[in-house]
Structure 1
Amino acid sequence: MSSRPEILVVAAIPPEIEQRLAADFTLVKARPKVGETLPHSVMVTTSMAGADRALMESLPDLRLIACNGTGLDLIDLQAAGERDILVRNTPDAVTEDTADFGIALIYATLRRVAEADRFVRAGRWSRERMTPSRRVSSCHVGIVGLGKIGKALARRAAGLGLDVSYTARSAKAELPYAYYPNAPALAAAVDVLVLCCPGGPETAGLANRTVLDALGPQGYLINIARGSVVDEPALLAALEESRIAGAGLDVFASEPQIDQRFFALENVVLQPHYASVTHETRRDMADTLHAAISKQFAASSF
């Protein structure tokens, strides 16, 4: 039997992160069965898999939940708090790459990059010409949620010469961007609305028909937040009826089995929840989780 500390892995994690953790810990890949308890003090999960109260109750010795990812909306933080279980995620690791990806989606959507690629591959260029796309440099970008990722995206957009506005829980007096009190007001003022806010009950369905109609037939929606932030049926209707010009989506209500109506739409760029998937982010995530787990085992040894 290994003398190395054991950690319980209850969800699939990227191979780079698994390799980093496996170098110093014994990984036990399992989920407790109904009525079963397991002795592990450290559990690894992901933002997409989460950890509910029942799972925590099956781990009476649990002291740390190490979450690969930024979102904590699927982790029962109240249940964890009641038992003084620490929850550590990896928000800083994803900031820069996610902000980069938000800018990439703006360009891909407005300049129709993916659509143009399909156009060439289908052999249509020899007999047709694509209609014009939309200039990015003259756009007004509105950001919903000005946390770390929102601020990083705002810096990039402003550096490219774009006008930047935002909405958040409160105005940030130290920032130079125009503030709007809510998403509909922001959507009505901008050309591109970028969702950077957390998931969870407070933001569920935030990008609804009211917001989309405010964005209007010349406006674009970019989502690098969570699929739950968008009222997906309302978005599909808006895209199908050309009530907005287009959308760039990295996240969806149901992943990876997304609504197949998206596939028929040329005015939407679809991505496989890919914003933070870089070698550098994976390395930083692995380092963050490894440090949190090592610290927990070191503390428990005293």
Structure 2
Amino acid sequence: MKPEILQICPMHPRVEAAFAAAYVVHRYWDAADKAGVLAARGPEIRAVATDGHYGVAPEIMAALPQLAMVASYGVGYDAIDTAACKARGIRVSNTPDVLNDAVAEIAVGLMHALVRRIPQADAFVREGGWLDGTFALTGELTGAHVGILGLGRIGKEIARRLQVSKMRVSYHGRHEQPFEPYAYYSDLTAMARDVDWLVAIAPGNAATRGIVSREVLTALGPQGAFVNVGRGSLVDEPALVELLVSGGLGGAALDVFADEPRVPAALLGLPNVVLSPHQGSATEKTRAAMGDLVVRNLAAFFAGDPLPTPVV
């Protein structure tokens, strides 16, 4: 008999195929009667496959008395109550490292798009503006000072790429990392005051909610730019919108938002903003690698082997 798993959300096609071959899969998001699925099959299900956005809602966990494994597709797991999982002896895995390059690429790409006004330049050519004159001069990254909020795996990859772009790199985090070649700021506002760019790539959780506050954004100032490739919850979004509209903040490049996929309407028409639909890891190569890790973690759990990438 194949083990039964509950799949909370859609995943990469190769993941879906691997699940179908190895398990009896209950597609929760696709079920017309979700409560009925939980009531009928909940007592038999020992593993859940989900992602960092959907997580596992408390009512789902409560309906799965034999739950012992949550395999999450993504590096972030803020939507999973890891404390509750630990208390119940439920293992949790994620998919770190395989998405470092893709997220670093989108971060640097967004910075180039904002400072060189690439979306506007593209529209300028398409709309025939070049026939009437040259495009306005822009800024550049070379020689600028960037502060990174969250020098984890992805933060380090972003830092290395920005050094190649001849930028000076500083960082803020819970602790100084003495063997990293970047200046450490224990105070985020102080760092924001000193840098030209602030890049947020910290995890979303209770400790980081709203960490990029109005005070931090104001310190970054009318010549500064904010980049968010972490979580929408990291920033005081109403303050961000207000400062971008008023000119209190120079610009922003955003891949994540507080209430995705809903983006504040005020941002849509601003020329000093570049918007991206949470596509940091959204490449064929990276999503396939993430999916493979989900499959491997579930296989290891059912085989009684150590998880390749455990969280809890």
User: Alignment partner of 1:202: what SS?
Assistant: coil
* Residues 17 and 285, structure 1, Cα contact 8 Å, conserved in 2: no
CA distance in structure 2 between the partners assigned to 1:194 and 1:250 by the alignment: 11
Which residue of structure 1 lines up, in the alignment, with residue 276 of structure 2? Answer: 271
Which residue of structure 2 lines up, in the alignment, with residue 175 of structure 1? Answer: 180
Instruction: State, as a whole percentage, how many aligned pairs show the same letter.
Output: 39
Higher deviation after alignment, 12-21 or 94-103: 12-21
CA distance in structure 2 between the partners assigned to 1:22 and 1:214 by the alignment: 52
Counterpart residue type for residue 5 of structure 2:
I
The alpha-carbon deviation at position 14 of structure 1 amounts to 3.1
Which residue of structure 1 lines up, in the alignment, with residue 130 of structure 2? Answer: 125
- Residue 240 (structure 2) aligned to one of 235, 242, 246: 235
Counterpart residue type for residue 259 of structure 2:
S
Q: Does 1:112 align with 2:114?
A: no
Which residue of structure 2 lines up, in the alignment, with residue 221 of structure 1? Answer: 226
Matches within 5 A, 1:20-39: 20-30=18-28, 32-33=34-35, 36=39, 38=42, 39=44
Q: TM-score scaled to structure 1, two decimals? A: 0.93
CA distance in structure 1 between the partners assigned to 2:140 and 2:175 by the alignment: 31
CA distance in structure 1 between the partners assigned to 2:143 and 2:122 by the alignment: 24
Number of residues of Structure 1 aligned to a counterpart in Structure 2: 298
**Unpaired runs of 5+ in structure 2?**
306-312
- Residue 44 (structure 1) aligned to one of 29, 38, 49: 49
CA distance in structure 2 between the partners assigned to 1:203 and 1:84 by the alignment: 26
CA distance in structure 2 between the partners assigned to 1:213 and 1:236 by the alignment: 12
**Unpaired runs of 5+ in structure 1?**
none
CA distance in structure 1 between the partners assigned to 2:84 and 2:226 by the alignment: 35
Higher deviation after alignment, 130-139 or 234-243: 130-139
* Residues 200 and 229, structure 2, Cα contact 8 Å, conserved in 1: yes
The alpha-carbon deviation at position 128 of structure 1 amounts to 4.9
Which residue of structure 2 lines up, in the alignment, with residue 101 of structure 1? Answer: 106
The alpha-carbon deviation at position 230 of structure 1 amounts to 1.1
Q: TM-score scaled to structure 2, two decimals? A: 0.91
Which residue of structure 2 lines up, in the alignment, with residue 138 of structure 1? Answer: 143
Tell me the C-alpha RMSD between the 2 structures: 1.7
The alpha-carbon deviation at position 52 of structure 1 amounts to 2.8
Higher deviation after alignment, 249-258 or 119-128: 119-128
Q: Does 1:10 align with 2:8?
A: yes
- Residue 210 (structure 1) aligned to one of 188, 208, 215: 215
Which residue of structure 2 lines up, in the alignment, with residue 60 of structure 1? Answer: 65
Which residue of structure 1 lines up, in the alignment, with residue 253 of structure 2? Answer: 248
Deviation string 1:215-255 (CA, Å, 9 cap, x unpaired) is 11111100000000011111111111111221110000111
Deviation string 1:77-115 (CA, Å, 9 cap, x unpaired) is 121111100011112221121112111111111111112
* Residues 21 and 286, structure 1, Cα contact 8 Å, conserved in 2: no
